[in-house]
Amino acid sequence: MGTLLKFYRPLFPYSSRTIQLGTQRFHRLFKPNRRIRCVATSSHSQPSILGGGGSKLGSPESSELWLHNTMSRKKELFRPKIEGKVGMYVCGVTAYDLSHIGHARVYVTFDVLYRYLRHLGYQVTYVRNFTDVDDKIIARANELREDPISLSRRYCEEFNRDMTCLHCLPPSVEPRVSDHMPQILDMIKQIIENGYGYTVDGDVYFSVDKFPDYGRLSGRKLEDNRAGERVAIDSRKKHPGDFAMWKSAKEGEPFWDSPWGPGRPGWHIECSAMSAAYLGYSFDIHGGGMDLVFPHHENEIAQSCAACNHSNISYWIHNGFVTIDSEKMSKSLGNFFTIRQVIDLYHPLALRLFLLGTHYQSPINYSDALLESASDRIFYIYQALHDCESALSQNNGVTLKDTIPPDTLNSVNNFYNVFLTSMSDDLHTPVVLAALSDPLKTINDLLHTRKGKKQELRMESLAALGTIIKNVLSVLGLMPASYPEILQELKDKALKRAKLTEDQVLQKIEERNAARKNKEYERSDTIRKDLAAVGIALMDSPDGTTWRPAVPLAIQEQQVATT
C-alpha cells in the first residue's frame, strides 16, 4: 500500500464567512491548491456546553449529547475532535427535479441537529453539497434539450427556496461538484497511487477487495454484492463490486479533462473530495438518509481511507424513510409527493412539525390525516402564544416583577429539563413536542379561566412561559416571524383545502346567526356540521362567532375509531 503524503487542507477550519450577493451565496476560500500532510486528528475532548444566551446549562451530565452512530449501531456520547467546534457534512440533493418530502425529512432532521449543536454552544461548520454532475441530470437535460449544468443550477435554486420555506438554516458551505474538479482529480490520482484504483479504457474503478474494511458501515459482505443487482454487469471490472470513480466521456455528455482522458466523476468520489476539501479527512459528523448507507457512504469511506490512511469520521447519522399511507414512497406507485405539492395545501411549518413528530431514525408515515392533525396542532400553539403576547402588550406598560409563582417556576423548569434531556438523547423531538402541552395549557388557563385571571403575578407567569416556549420552538426551527401573519397563512391554507373563500365562511356564519335568531336550530346545526366536515370550526362567544381551522370531521371520526 502506498502512503499519502499530501492532501487538501480543509478550506474552512471549522468556520466560514458567507457573503450574500443577490440570491447566490459565495464563500471566502483558501487557495484550493494548499495541501498538508496526512496526519491523525487530535484526540477527543469534552466541549464547553453553553446555552443559547451563553450561560451554563446546569450539570455536565444533563447536557451531554448522545447520538446513534450507524457505524457502531448504538448511541454514543458526542465528543468533537476539536473542543467547542463541530464539522458536519450532509449529502445534498442530486439537482434534476423538484425535491420531495423524503428530502424534506433529511434536511429538517439535520437542520435540527445543526440548531441544537449551536444551542449547546458549539461552533458548527455545516457542509451540504449539491450534486450537479450525474447520470440523472444528464438524462433529464437531454429530455428537455437543456444544458445539464444550467438545468442543475435551476433546481439548486428551487431546492434552496424549499429549504427557506421549511425554516432550514443555510449551511456554512454549499459546494457544487462542477466547482471541485481539481480536488476530485487529485483524490482519484492519490487513490491510484496508493494501490486502490485501476484504469480501464479511460474509466477509473475502485478495487473493493483491496480494502479489508469494506462493508463495515452497512454490515454487507463482498460476496453479498451480486453482480447486476444495482448496476449493469461490466466484465472489465476486476470484481463485480468495484465502482467507478471516473467515467470516460460519452457523446452528448459534459466532460472535463483528466490524466485518463476526458470524462466526469462518479457519484461517490464527489462527496469524498468535497468533504475532505472543507472539513479535512477526519471530522465529526457525516449524515444523510438511510438509503445512502449502501452503496454511497460505504464507498465514501473506502475512497477516503484509501486516499488518507488517517481518515476518520466519528459519527455516521442516518434518518429513516418516509412512507405514504404505510407504503414506501416511490414514483412507480404513484404516491410520490414533492415539497411544493404538499406546501401548496399545508403550511410549511405544519409539514416541519409533522416531520419532527416522529423520531428521526424511525420510518414516518405521510398521510393527509396526519398533516391535518399537524396543522391543527400548530395553529393551537401559535394562537396560544399570540394571545399571550397580546395580553402582555396590553399590560399598560406596567413593569413586570422579576419573580414568578413556584408553580410557574416548576412548569418552566420541568419543560426545559424535558427539552434538554430529550434532545440530548439522540434528538427525541416527539417528546419535546408532547411536553409543550403543559405550558400551553397553563397559558390558556391564565388567559381564559376565572381562576387563572385571578392568579398572583399572572403577567409574570405569562411572560416566563411564553419565553421558554419561544426559545424551544426556535431550536426546533418552528418559531414564526409573526403570530398574526402565520395564523392568517394557516387559515388561508385551510380555506384552500376546504375549497372556500373567507367571505363564503363569513356568509355561512351570518346564515347560522339568522337561523339561531329564528330558532331554526336544525338549520343552525347543519351549517356548523357542513363547515366542520371540510375543516372549518365555528366558535361561539359573547362577542360573536368566529372560525378557525380544524381537522375535518370525517378524519376526526376515523381517528376516534382507531384509538
The DSSP secondary structure of 13-78, one letter per residue, reads: SS---EEEETTEEEE----TT-EE---PPPPP-PPPPB-TTS-B-S-HHHH--EEEETTTTEEEE-
| CATH (domain of 146) | 3.40.50.620
In this structure, are 301 and 449 located in the same domain? no
What is the bridge-based pairing of β-strands 35-36 and 7-8? antiparallel
Q: What is the mean pLDDT of the chain?
A: 88
Q: Last residue of a domain, which of 290, 319, 348? A: 319
Instruction: Tell me the C-alpha to C-alpha distance, in Å, between residue 126 and each of 276, 316, 454.
Output: 13, 14, 49
Q: Which residues contact 151 (CB under 8 A, 6 or more apart)?
A: 96, 137, 140, 141, 144
Q: Last residue of a domain, which of 291, 319, 347? A: 319
Q: Last residue of a domain, which of 433, 455, 484? A: 484
Quote the domain boundaries for residue 439. Answer: 368-484
What is the bridge-based pairing of β-strands 243-248 and 203-206? antiparallel
pLDDT 10s digits, 269-322: 999 999 999 999 999 999 999 999 999 999 999 999 999 999 999 999 999 999
Which has more pLDDT, 45 or 370? Answer: 370
In this structure, are 77 and 218 located in the same domain? yes
Residue 348 within any structural domain of the chain = no
In this structure, are 455 and 519 located in the same domain? no
Residue 263 within any structural domain of the chain = yes
In this structure, are 506 and 462 located in the same domain? no
Whether the per-residue pLDDT at 180 is higher than 60: the answer is: yes
| CATH (domain of 394) | 1.10.730
Three-class DSSP category at 539: strand
Angstrom distance (rounded) from CA 28 to CA 123: 18
In this structure, are 106 and 234 located in the same domain? yes
Residue 208 within any structural domain of the chain = yes
Residue 338 within any structural domain of the chain = no
In this structure, are 273 and 420 located in the same domain? no
In this structure, are 315 and 456 located in the same domain? no
In this structure, are 273 and 412 located in the same domain? no
pLDDT 10s digits, 200-254: 999 999 999 999 999 999 999 887 765 444 455 677 899 999 999 999 999 989 9
Angstrom distance (rounded) from CA 110 to CA 213: 27
In this structure, are 506 and 401 located in the same domain? no
Residue 385 within any structural domain of the chain = yes
Residue 207 within any structural domain of the chain = yes
Residue 331 within any structural domain of the chain = no
In this structure, are 49 and 158 located in the same domain? yes
What is the average pLDDT across 123-127?
A: 98
The total number of structural domains that make up the chain: 3
Angstrom distance (rounded) from CA 199 to CA 193: 12
Q: What type of residue is 278?
A: Y
Place of cell 438524462: 139
In this structure, are 53 and 84 located in the same domain? yes
Residue 342 within any structural domain of the chain = no
In this structure, are 505 and 460 located in the same domain? no
The pLDDT of residue 40: 47
